[in-house]
Amino acid sequence: MLDLQKRKSLLALSIAAANALFFTPSNLRAFSAETKELRASTLSTTSDNRKNENRSEPIAVTSTAFSANEIIPKPYTGDGKDISPQLKWTAGPAATKFYALSVEDPDAPGGTWWHWMLVNIPANVTQLREAAGKTKALPPGAVEGKNDFEKLGYNGPMPPRGQKHHYHFKIIALNDRLKLNSGYTKQQYEAAIKGHITGQGELIGTYSH
């Protein structure tokens, strides 16, 4: 019985000594300061990583068919030949390996209407000829998706009568090839580009009839 009490006493003394050694007020203050510094460093690193993930270089997009915020000529709409306009863009940053293109109408009554999607445009290609994918060939390896007309390739503006819509010709620079097959959907497109964008830009045109 006495041996058990002695062991308990020794254990209590050991705990007290450990507390005195490691958890004195000064040690606690130092520990708290180090914890705050480590937490701040971690938050800063996380913030920087998020900024790097979201950072992308601007890309200028132009066309010989129309200028920014001007009317898209009839041949490039559903009222005309329904062919895509010529497009040209500035090169993306060094990490760019491919480009992707989309043409979107955010003014559509039921939500954004997609007119064209094209991915895996090689990094050395920075323009598309008029009627690309129809009478003119697409860049090697480029793959078209199915637009909201349920068709493959480009279909031009065709807004409701009396409404003026804005059409966004978007170019996105990517750091990898997208694993998408011909006829992919806009949902698949949006999911595929996440985490791969290195640059982006757009040309906006308008149309009404």
Domain boundary residue, one of 12, 32, 54: 54
Segment 6-40, tens digit of pLDDT: 555 555 555 544 554 454 555 555 545 555 555 55
Task: Quote the pTM value.
Answer: 0.75
Residues 174, 155, single domain; the answer is: yes
Q: How far is it, in rounded angstroms, from Cα 125 to Cα 31? A: 56
Residues 133, 203, single domain; the answer is: yes
Domain boundary residue, one of 20, 36, 54: 54
Taking CA atoms, 154 is separated from 15, 22, 39, 149, in Å, by 76, 71, 51, 9
Residues 48, 63, single domain; the answer is: no
Q: Is 134 exposed, middle or buried (0-12, 13-18, 19+ CB in 10 A)?
A: middle
Domain count, the chain: 2
Segment 80-109, tens digit of pLDDT: 999 999 999 999 999 999 999 999 999 999
Q: What is the CATH number of the domain that holds 196?
A: 3.90.280.10
Residues 37, 21, single domain; the answer is: yes
